[in-house]
Amino acid sequence: MASLQILSLLLFLAKCYYSKEEDLVQCLSKYSETNVTQNIYTLNSPTYSSVLEYAQKNPRWMNSSHPIFIVSPTKESDIKPVILCAKILGLQIKIKSGGHDYEGISFRSETPFVMLDLSNLDKIEIDLKEGTVWAQAGETLGQLYYAIAKKSKVHAFPGGVCFTVGTGGIISGDGLGSLMRKFGLASDNVVDAHVMDVNGNILDRKKMKEDLFWAIRGGGGASFGVILAWKLKLVRVPDKVTVFTVYKKLDSNQNLLQKWQNTSHQLPDGLFIRTVIQNDGTGNDQYVLMFFQALYLGPVDELIPLLKEKFPEFDLEKKDCFQEPVVDCSNMPCIRKECRESSWIGSVLYFYGKRTNEPLEVLLEKSIPTQKNYFKATSAFVKTPIPESGWEMVKRLFLEEERPQIIMEPLGGKLDEISESEIPLPHRKGNLYNIQYLVNWGDNSESISSPKIEWLRKLYKKMEPYVANSPRSAYLNYRDLDLGTSQDYYNYSKAKIWGEKYFKGNFERLAKVKSKVDPNNFFRNEQSIPPYHTDSLRRLDPMSTGLHQDV
């Protein structure tokens, strides 16, 4: 009997989906000036699975709910009929730029939805005379960096370290990176944008007015509309920069870690030194490794005297930057230090685990990795140095787990000069560094993934005494649904609980902007900004056009 009920339900859903497919195709044909339907992939399309797999850069969610339709427009004007028809048919839209969202919210949902895949919108226009670039939202950071490097050796953009992410997402979520101490965040360097609103209108900075322009630069653009393109300010960098990494064991170098915590945010803003902590070794020889990875905006001859003054413990010499690192595993870690003098684009490759002299075409790589890496992550900001007892706790927990990682990136410099209300990200002056906790695994079965996720939650809880609180802070691009979700409820006072972790007092302003530009909450996801007026508990009918009804 139960099997017959399940079969009936599946047949009903299939019928509904087929009906929706016909309805969507007819609707798009009615409202489109061009044949946008040729870029639609349905559950029955032979290429649907390959398109979906390419879209989902975070493989942890491959077995989650999938879109009824994937729409991959090749022109900005093709997006308007998708919005109009989704509203008419009561379908939710999820907007995918690069597909790296930590919680997969751009390509999964508990309600029927259309995935708007922007990857075909990847045009770039660089104006070196003006010092700006227009970049469409489907373009990856790698494509952007490649285009800049092909035009100039002394121009750069202060984006993120991972160059496979899409610009539409990372810039609308702030964009921490190795140049931020000198030039600010990616979103600090946006000078204009093109956004399609809920009515299908394309707005630039003048048309959208300053409140919406403020909100999309760090408040999560998908809450307010479809980010189509950014106009970005390029920055000037030296033709020679230096990158280096120094490896140490945590247990015998805690004094060095304490020194980094106290001074890394106060170093000259051209020197960025981040710290990564992870396990190394195997079996009884396992230990907790930390390494200091750095970018200096200048040649080796300038860097070495600075390090001898600030961090003589690194024992870095000029010769280290012009020879291969010595590998000696008789005394762990096998490599003590490595260094390279290169161009800025070489430093981009280096921070992503590549060699500084690899062909730049590496930045354009779009293939799907054959070896899957699954992960769960979360974040915090740190205002006071974590004491030795905190790191002892971290070491104990790390030795319980196979593939944990902590990444800490120093703030200060330019970030201290920008008001916490200038854009939605408020974690500026007074914060020493950002911290990201991760755990990785290679088998996504429930029996493997669940203990990994619970381990990370335990670490997150035990770190509470050591990180910024009231509210406990977090970084939007390291999205964590454990902080709270809207689910099918879009209630301002409830969303404020997790929203203030990302945005502090800026959350209220974001909600007020949302009320102006999308009062019926059409653009929504599990952690989107709700309208400010939603001050009573309301349920969103997933098959409605986005209108609220009181429960």
Kindly list the catalytic residues.
478
Tokens 């971290």 belong to: 394
Residue 340, class by beta-carbon neighbours within 10 Å (0-12 exposed, 13-18 middle, 19+ buried)?
A: buried
Distance (Å) of CA 331 to CA 248, 281, 328, 336, 470: 11, 11, 7, 10, 44
Helix (H, G, I), strand (E, B) or coil at 232: strand
Measured distance CA(130)–CA(127) in Å, rounded: 5
Residues 6 or more apart whose Cβ sits within 8 Å of residue 496: 507, 508
- Interhelix angle 506-517/205-216, rounded to 10 degrees, is 140
* Pairing relationship of beta strands 271-280 and 287-296 according to DSSP bridges: antiparallel
Token couple for 365: 């790589």
Measured distance CA(277)–CA(188) in Å, rounded: 29
Characterize 385-416 residue by residue with b for buried, 16 or more Cβ atoms within 10 angstroms of its Cβ, and e for exposed.
bbeeeebebbbebbeebeebbbbbbbbbbbbe
Bridge partners (DSSP) of residue 235 are 156
Measured distance CA(242)–CA(265) in Å, rounded: 19
Distance (Å) of CA 465 to CA 99, 173, 431: 33, 26, 15
Measured distance CA(181)–CA(68) in Å, rounded: 43
Token couple for 46: 């032979």
Measured distance CA(288)–CA(352) in Å, rounded: 21
- Please spell the DSSP secondary structure of 122-173, one letter per residue: --EEEETTTTEEEEETT-BHHHHHHHHHHH-SSEE----S-TTSBHHHHHHT
Residue 101, class by beta-carbon neighbours within 10 Å (0-12 exposed, 13-18 middle, 19+ buried)?
A: buried
Distance (Å) of CA 517 to CA 27, 213, 422, 437, 545: 24, 11, 20, 35, 16
Extended strands (E) in 164-270 = 190-196, 202-203, 226-233, 235-236, 241-249
Q: Which letter does DSSP use for residue 320 in this model?
A: G
Measured distance CA(383)–CA(426) in Å, rounded: 13
Question: What end-to-end distance do the CA atoms of the chain give, in Å?
Answer: 34
